[in-house]
């Protein structure tokens, strides 16, 4: 699967985003190490802290299917010319499973930049802190 294939799945997921407050319309496509892909979209709520990001929605779908190892995550912002990186909470959730996951951050015109999660979340808090 190419980066563009994964991005196209994130774009498709963004079409179901419920984002009346931010209007960002985010979609995410998460590729597991076995090649399967799970998608998610933003689900906002009037009680803003009850909202869930597209990235975490995709992680929850993958975990619900028994997948815990991720290779790449494409995150698409339908209404932004910024390269939207995952928020801090999503970075932390991704780090639980795959600290080395690659992030493809896609803006509305389809251009994207790539980061390693570890670069965006240095010295991450992890399960190793419990050992
Ligand atoms: Zn987030």
Q: Lowest-confidence range among 1-10, 108-117, 119-128?
A: 119-128
Judge if pTM exceeds 0.85. Answer: yes
pLDDT band at 54 (very low <50, low <70, confident <90, very high): very high
For residue 72, give its domain range: 3-130
**pLDDT above 90 (res 2):** yes
Question: Known catalytic residues?
Answer: 55
Could you tell me the distance, in angstroms and rounded to a whole number, from the CA of residue 130 to the centre of ligand 1? Answer: 24
Of the candidates 33, 102, 38, which has an alpha carbon nearest to the alpha carbon of residue 64?
Answer: 38
Q: Any idea what the CATH number is for the domain that residue 46 is in?
A: 3.40.140.10
Could you tell me the distance, in angstroms and rounded to a whole number, from the CA of residue 16 to the centre of ligand 1? Answer: 16
Could you tell me the distance, in angstroms and rounded to a whole number, from the CA of residue 98 to the centre of ligand 1? Answer: 16
Q: How many domains does the chain have?
A: 1
């Amino acid at each position: 699967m190419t980066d563009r294939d994964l991005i196209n799945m994130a774009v498709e997921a963004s079409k179901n985003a419920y984002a009346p407050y931010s209007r960002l319309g985010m979609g995410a496509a998460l590729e597991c190490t076995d090649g399967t892909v799970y998608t998610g979209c933003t689900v906002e709520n009037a009680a803003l802290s009850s909202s869930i990001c597209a990235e975490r929605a995709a992680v929850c779908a993958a975990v619900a299917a028994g997948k815990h190892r991720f290779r790449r995550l494409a995150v698409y912002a339908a209404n932004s010319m910024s390269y939207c990186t995952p928020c801090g909470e999503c970075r932390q959730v991704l780090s639980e499973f795959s600290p080395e996951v690659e992030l493809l951050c896609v803006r509305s015109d389809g251009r994207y930049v790539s980061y390693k999660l570890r670069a965006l979340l240095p010295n991450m808090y992890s399960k190793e802190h419990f050992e």
